Structure 1
Amino acid sequence: MFGLIFFILFTPGVSEFLCRSSDLEISYTFCDSTAHTFMFNVTPCSLMNKSIWKAALTWVPRSDITYLKIIFKVWYDGVEVLHWKEVLCSGTDDEYAVCGTLKGRQCEKHTMPFPHLAETLATEFDIKGSRITFPKSHYDIVLQGFSDDSENNRIICLNFTMIVKQDTF
C-alpha cells in the first residue's frame, strides 16, 4: 500500500494537494514529465488567521546544488502580477539549507520496494506571504529552479494552483 502512495505522490503529471480548507485550496503539479522525488507541505491551510505558514520540503535533486537561481511567477485572473528572480546559492557564503546539496543517488545495498535515496534535502521554513490580503480568485504560480545563471539547466519546475474561496480583507 505504501508503495502505491509513493508512486502516486512522485509520478509526473499527478496533481498533489497541499491543503484544502473552507477558505483556501492549494495544489501542484510538475512542469515536466521527469519523475521527481519531492514532497512539499504547508500549515495552516488558511488565509484568514494571518499567521505565517510553516512549510516542509523533502527533495532529492537531479543535480548538485552549488548554484541555484529561483524564478517565481504569479498570475491573478490570467494577468502576471509578480515576476521574481533570486540567486539563492552562488557557491560562496550561501545562507540557505539547500545550498551544497548533492545530486540524489540510489543506494545499491537496500532491497526495499523503493531503494533508500541518499542526498535527500529535508528542511522547514516560513512563508510570510500568508500576511498578504488575497481577493477571492484563482491564482497560478510557477516556481522554477536552475543550476546555472543562463537558465538552461532547469532542475525543478512546479505549477501551483491556489484558489482563494473568500476575500481575506
Structure 2
Amino acid sequence: MFGLFFVILFTPGVSEFLCTSPDLEMSYTFCDSTAQAFTFNLTPCSTMNKPNWKAALTWIPRSDITFLKVVFNVWYEGAKALHWKEVVCSGADDKYAECATLKGETLATEFDIKGARITFPKGNYNIILRAFSDDAENNMVICLNFTMIVKQDPY
C-alpha cells in the first residue's frame, strides 16, 4: 500500500516488467525522450480462457488533459496487425473524469481491457501506444512500447 503513494520515475529505454506466467510475458519501455512519472499494472497475467484484464494506471501528465487522442499500432511477428485511433478526451462533455487532469496532478485510474474479444496466437507482439494533446498529433504527451510474448496457443 505504501508503494501506491509514490510514482516511480522511469527514464526512456528502461524496461518495466509487467508480468510473467506460463502462457504470457509482458513488459514496456518509453519510446519518447522525456522521463515520465508513470506506472501500469495488469492482472491476471494470462491469455488462457480469454480473460478480461484489470489494468491500473498512475501517471503525472506533462500537460493538461483537456484533449487526448490515443493511437495504437500493433505488430504480430513483425507484421502490422492493427492501427487504431481514438479521441478519449475532447474537452466537451467527456465521459471520463480523468479528462480534467491538470499538468502535475496525479491521474490514478483502473479499467477493464476486454481480452475475451481477441484470440492471441502464440508469438511476439509489439504494441506502440502514443497519446497526443492535439488532434493533429503534433504534441505527444506519452509514448509506450509494450512487448507481449504469448507462449502457448489458447486452444
User: What is the distance in 2 between the residues matched to 1:55 and 1:99?
Assistant: 18
Q: Does residue 95 in structure 1 map to residue 81 in structure 2? A: no
Deviations 1:134-155 (A, max 9, x none): 1110000000000001100000
Equivalent position amino acid for 1:94 in 2: D
User: Corresponding residue for 2:17?
Assistant: 17
Structure 1, gaps ≥5 residues long: 105-118
TM-score relative to the length of structure 2: 0.92
Decide whether aligned partners of structure 1 residues 6 and 123 sit closer, same or farther in structure 2, where only a CA change above 3 A counts: closer
Equivalent position amino acid for 1:79 in 2: A
Q: Which is worse superposed, 125-134 or 46-55?
A: 125-134
**Which of 85, 95, 115 is the matching residue for 1:129?**
115
User: What is the distance in 2 between the residues matched to 1:156 and 1:6?
Assistant: 16
User: What is the distance in 1 between the residues matched to 2:39 and 2:118?
Assistant: 25
User: Corresponding residue for 2:77?
Assistant: 77
Q: Which runs of 4+ in 1 moved over 2 A?
A: none
User: What is the distance in 1 between the residues matched to 2:33 and 2:141?
Assistant: 12
Bigger-Rg structure (1/2): 1
Equivalent position amino acid for 1:154 in 2: M
User: Corresponding residue for 2:133?
Assistant: 147
Instruction: Indicate if the aligned counterparts of 1:53 and 1:130 stay in contact, CA closer than 8 A.
Output: no
Equivalent position amino acid for 1:129 in 2: G
- 1:49, CA displacement in angstroms? 2.9
Number of equivalent positions: 151
- Give the RMSD, CA atoms, in angstroms: 1.6
- 1:32, CA displacement in angstroms? 1.6
Deviations 1:50-101 (A, max 9, x none): 2210000000000100000000110011111110001000001101232010
Equivalent position amino acid for 2:49 in 1: N
Deviations 1:104-148 (A, max 9, x none): 1xxxxxxxxxxxxxx100000000035421111000000000000
Q: Does residue 138 in structure 1 map to residue 124 in structure 2? A: yes
